[in-house]
Amino acid sequence: MQAHKHFLSLADLTPAELSKLLDLAVELKREWKAGGNAPVLKNKTLAMVFTKPSLRTRVSFEMAMRHLGGHALYIAPDEIQLGKRESVPDVARVLSRYVDGIMARVFAHADVVALAQYARVPVINGLSDYTHPCQGLADLLTILEYKGAIKGLTIAYVGDANNVANSLVFGATLLGAHVRVGAPDGYQLRHDVAARAATFAQAGGGSLTQMTDPQEAVRGADAIYTDVWTSMGQEAEAARRAQVFPPYQVNQALVALARKDAIVLHCLPAHRGQEITDEVADGPQSALWDQAENRMHAQKAVLATLMG
């Protein structure tokens, strides 16, 4: 990744580029805990465009920019009405004249792609309906911290194979992990995502396996990942999904099938009592809070690489 490139999907990276970002994230986190980061983004400003609510994305990006000596400008959903009040290309052209980088949290992936196409500054995908690369980078950083390496690990994703699953699968297969996705029929990985990840796995010595049995997915796994059963924008499907997904709940009985030192991950917000139980979320194998903190450190690596 060179300056003025974009960060739209982990699938756009080579294994070397992904590893370099993770190494930088580790270093920046170590530096921050030792007393603070160097102001490598002094006098730089990141525009943060939101079309949906956020806790972790907004705060982690804002604090990441502050730690690196820069500024973050929050633009609320009603202020731009991306693609409605003003076209996406025009928003990209205008913001490029004001700021040094754009982070966008959008519904449609096409919007972040269009921002990148028309912007003169780096564009970072803060979440789209296709992928969530910032979360994926934080997930990999968390697994790396707990396990020391990613290549050769078995990582199980249980539940709805959504945008978060896409990023996890892309990143983990790029780095040579064995990924199992346990999801009901009709809720598994998109065919194009699975095909691309399988190519990554073949090149990196890992594997991708999809199955409908959640127990088989987690058996002997080093890490178990889950997410909400109904994502933002899918509220009309909530009742139907609530009937389909209960067997995929990450509870203590399911976790017991994994390795004794397995960690449990969730991108948050969690619907406790649905996809994950309190016992697991707050239990000794939970890595949820380190994972949430790592959004900030992973994003520092992206910001420093693109805007430094």
Q: Enumerate domains of the chain plus CATH numbers.
A: 10-132+295-307 (3.40.50.1370), 135-291 (3.40.50.1370)
134 has catalytic annotation: no
135 has catalytic annotation: yes
- Catalytic-role residue among 188, 295, 297, 299: 295
Phi first, then psi: what are they for 127, rounded to 5°?
155, 135
Name residues whose C-beta falls within 8 Å of residue 78's C-beta, 6 or more positions apart in sequence.
none
- Catalytic-role residue among 56, 105, 241, 266: 105
Name residues whose C-beta falls within 8 Å of residue 254's C-beta, 6 or more positions apart in sequence.
158, 214, 215, 218, 224
| Closest to 245 (Cα-Cα) out of 230, 225, 223 | 230
- Catalytic-role residue among 58, 67, 132, 297: 132
| Closest to 22 (Cα-Cα) out of 303, 302, 307, 306 | 302
Number of neighbours of residue 14 by Cβ within 10 angstroms: 11
Name residues whose C-beta falls within 8 Å of residue 221's C-beta, 6 or more positions apart in sequence.
154, 155, 156, 180, 258, 259, 262
- Catalytic-role residue among 129, 267, 297, 299: 267
- Catalytic-role residue among 227, 266, 274, 299: 227
Number of neighbours of residue 88 by Cβ within 10 angstroms: 24
Burial class, 308, CB count within 10 angstroms (exposed 0-12 / middle 13-18 / buried 19+): middle
105 has catalytic annotation: yes
Burial class, 231, CB count within 10 angstroms (exposed 0-12 / middle 13-18 / buried 19+): middle
- Catalytic-role residue among 135, 285, 291, 299: 135
Rounded to whole angstroms, the Cα distance separating 22 from 29 reads 10
240 has catalytic annotation: no
Q: What is the pLDDT along the chain (308 residues), one digit of tens a residue?
A: 443 499 999 999 999 999 999 999 999 999 999 999 999 999 999 999 999 889 999 999 999 999 999 999 999 988 887 767 889 999 999 999 999 999 999 999 999 999 999 999 999 999 999 999 999 999 999 999 999 999 999 999 999 999 999 999 999 999 999 999 999 999 999 999 999 999 999 999 999 999 999 999 999 999 999 999 987 777 888 889 999 999 999 999 999 999 999 999 999 999 999 999 999 999 999 999 999 999 999 999 999 999 99
274 has catalytic annotation: no
Query: Looking at residue 1, what is its pLDDT?
Result: 44
Query: Looking at residue 87, what is its pLDDT?
Result: 92
Rounded to whole angstroms, the Cα distance separating 165 from 131 reads 8
227 has catalytic annotation: yes
